[in-house]
Amino acid sequence: MTILMENGDGADAVAKGGMDVEVSLGDLRKQLDDFAKARGWEQFHSPRNLLLALVGEVGELSEIFQWKGEVPRGLPDWNVSEKEHLGEELSDVLLYLVRLSHMCGVDLGRAALSKIEKNAIKYPVGRDYSRAAAAASSKWSK
Amino acid sequence: MTILMENGDGADAVAKGGMDVEVSLGDLRKQLDDFAKARGWEQFHSPRNLLLALVGEVGELSEIFQWKGEVPRGLPDWNVSEKEHLGEELSDVLLYLVRLSHMCGVDLGRAALSKIEKNAIKYPVGRDYSRAAAAASSKWSK
Amino acid sequence: MTILMENGDGADAVAKGGMDVEVSLGDLRKQLDDFAKARGWEQFHSPRNLLLALVGEVGELSEIFQWKGEVPRGLPDWNVSEKEHLGEELSDVLLYLVRLSHMCGVDLGRAALSKIEKNAIKYPVGRDYSRAAAAASSKWSK
Amino acid sequence: MTILMENGDGADAVAKGGMDVEVSLGDLRKQLDDFAKARGWEQFHSPRNLLLALVGEVGELSEIFQWKGEVPRGLPDWNVSEKEHLGEELSDVLLYLVRLSHMCGVDLGRAALSKIEKNAIKYPVGRDYSRAAAAASSKWSK
C-alpha cells in the first residue's frame, strides 16, 4: 500500500480525489486498543508514558526536517524512501495521540470538531491576519 | 458540545458507546483546508512552519501534565475545566498534524493504517513484551 | 571519563563535591563554534535547523523515560549504560541549545542569570506554592 | 541587564568579546537548587515532572519561530522585545535541563565535554559532510 500521491501538491491531490480513504479516529482508537490488549501493552499505557512516547515521535518527525532548510509544499524534491519515512513518523505521532486521548477519556474526534468551531469564532473570516500571525509568535499577545 | 464522558475510563466508555462520533481524518483535512483558504492562511502553512506550530502545541499539552506526577487512566480526579483544556490541547496537536501531513502531500489515514499493519508484523501477538518495553527505552536496542 | 556519580542523589553529591568540573557556557559556545568551522558545518546551522535538531534531541531524551513510569531522583535503579545514555542525550540538548543561542546572537549565560533574577521576584520566598504549582499546569491561570 | 548584543551576528560578537560573562553550569545548578529549596519546590522536581516542564519550554521556544519562515543568523530584523523574549525561552529550556540533570544525578558539564570529544572522533575533520547532513535526517542511516 502506498501512502504517497503521484502529485506532490496536497491541495491539488484533494481536488483529484487522490487522498480519500475514509479513516476515522474511532477506527484507529479501536484498532490500537485491540492491538494493546492482544499484546498485554495496557500496563505500559499510562497517560504520561504515552505523552513521553508522543514527544519521542515528534522528535523523530523533526529530525526528518532538521537539516533541510525551508521545504516547499508537497515536498517535490523528496525521494520515495524519504516520503515513506515521513509518513511513518507522522503516523507514529497520530497513533500515540489517539491512544493518549483514549487513555485520558477524551473523545479526540469530538474535541477536534469543537476546537475548529471555537477557532472559527476566534478567527473570523475577513480579518487581516498578516499582523496577527506575527503577533501569534509572541507569548505577550496571547 | 461536551468533549467529556460521564465515565472517565476510556476503555469502559468504548464498550458503552460513549465515544462514537465518526470523525474521519479526511473530514478534518478538508475542514482545515477550507478554514485556511477562507482566511488567507495558506501563505503561513509551509511544512516547517506547521511542524514548529505542532511542537508548540505538544509543549502546551505537556504543560498540563508537568507538575502532576503520575496520573491514573481516565483522569478521575481532574475537574471539568482541566479536562476541557486537555481536549483542546490534544486537538491542537491533531489539527496541526493533519494540516502538516496535507501540506507534505502525505495521506495520513493511509499512512496510519499502513503503520499499524507494519507494527502488527514487527510485534507479533504472544511474545513477552515486558523486557522489550524496557529495551525500547534504549536507543541501542533499536 | 565518567559522567556518573557514585551516589545517585544529586543534592548529596553536590555536598560531597562530586560534581564540580567548572564548565562554562562560553567554553561550550567556543568549542562548538570551532567544531563547526573545522567541519564546514556553519552552512547547516541556521536558527530553525538548529531548533529542529534540538527538538529531535528532546525526543531522544523523552524516549529514555517513556516506558518507565515515575522514577525516583538520582535514578538509583538505572544501570551504567542507561545513565551514560541519559548523559549523552542531556548533552545533545545542551549543545544544540548553546549553538542555537549563539547563532541567534543571544548570550545564553547572561540570559539565564537574568531569568533567575526575574523569577526570584516573580516567585517570592515564603509564599505557598502548592496551589501555584497546580495552577501553573493550566494555561488559563498564566 | 541586557541579554542582547549590539551586533546581531554571533560569530563576530565572539571575536569582539561581546559575549563573555563566564557562567558555569555548576553555578546555575547551585543557584537553581537554592532557589527550589528556599521555596519548597523540591517536592515538584521529580525527573519526569522536570522533563515535561522542559518539553513545555521547548514548545514556547518553537512558538517564537513558528510563523517566521527561515530567519538569518543573528536575527537582524527582530526587535528588542522579540529578542528578549527569545532569550527568556532559551533560558527556560537551559534552566530545566540543568535542574533535570541534577535531579538525575548526571554531571551535565562533564557529560557535555565528553560528548564533544566523542563527536570529534565520530566526525573527523576533513570528511565531506554535505551528504552526511542529508543522511543524518534519515533514521535508517543512523
Contact of D100 with A46, CB cutoff 8 Å: no
Q: Tell me the shortest Cα–Cα distance from B142 to chain A, in angstroms.
A: 13
Q: Compute the count of residue pairs across chains A and C with CB atoms less than 8 Å apart.
A: 61
- Per-residue DSSP letter, C127: S
Closest residue to A21, CB basis, from B54, B109, B133: B109
**Per-residue pLDDT at D19 exceeds 80:** no
Q: What is the ipTM of this complex?
A: 0.83
What is the average per-residue pLDDT within B80-88? Answer: 97
Nearest-Cα distance to chain D for B40, in Å, is 14
Contacts of C44 in chain A (CB under 8 A): 67
Q: In chain B, what are the domains?
A: 25-66+79-104 (1.10.287.1080)
| Cβ within 8 Å, pair B137-C81 | no
pLDDT at position B87, please?
A: 98
Residue carrying C-alpha cell 551504567 = C80
C-beta separation of C56 from A62 below 8 A? yes
What is the full per-residue pLDDT of chain C (142 aa) written as tens digits? 233 333 334 444 444 444 446 899 999 999 999 999 999 999 999 999 999 999 999 999 999 999 999 999 999 999 999 999 999 999 999 999 999 999 999 999 999 999 999 999 999 999 988 766 555 543 333 3
Stretches in chain A below the pLDDT threshold 50 = 1-20, 137-142
Mean pLDDT over D77-94 rounds to 97
CB-based contacts of D114, cutoff 8 Å, min separation 6: C1, C3, C87, C91
Give dist(CA A60, CA A84) in Å, integer.
Answer: 13
Average the pLDDT over D18-44 and give the result.
Answer: 90
User: Global pTM?
Assistant: 0.85
For residue B4, the cross-strand partners are: A106
pLDDT value, residue B5: 33
Which triple of cell numbers denotes residue B134? 524496557
Phi, psi at residue B106, to the nearest 5°? -105, 130
Q: At which residue does the C-alpha cell 541587564 appear? A: D1
Q: Looking at chain B, which subunits does it touch, using at least 3 CB pairs closer than 8 Å as the criterion?
A: A, C, D
For residue C83, the model assigns a pLDDT of: 97
pLDDT recorded at residue C139 = 36
Q: Which of B46, B59, B66 minimises the CB distance to D58?
A: B59
Which chains lie within 8 Å of chain A at 3 or more CB pairs, if any?
B, C, D
- Among B125, B105, B123, B126, CA closest to B115: B123
Instruction: Using alpha carbons, select from B96, D131, A48, B139 the residue that is nearest to residue C56.
Output: B139
- Mean pLDDT of the region B33-51: 97
Whether C97 contacts C54, CB under 8 Å:
yes
Q: What mean pLDDT is predicted for residues B36-61?
A: 97
Residue D135 has pLDDT above 70, yes or no: no
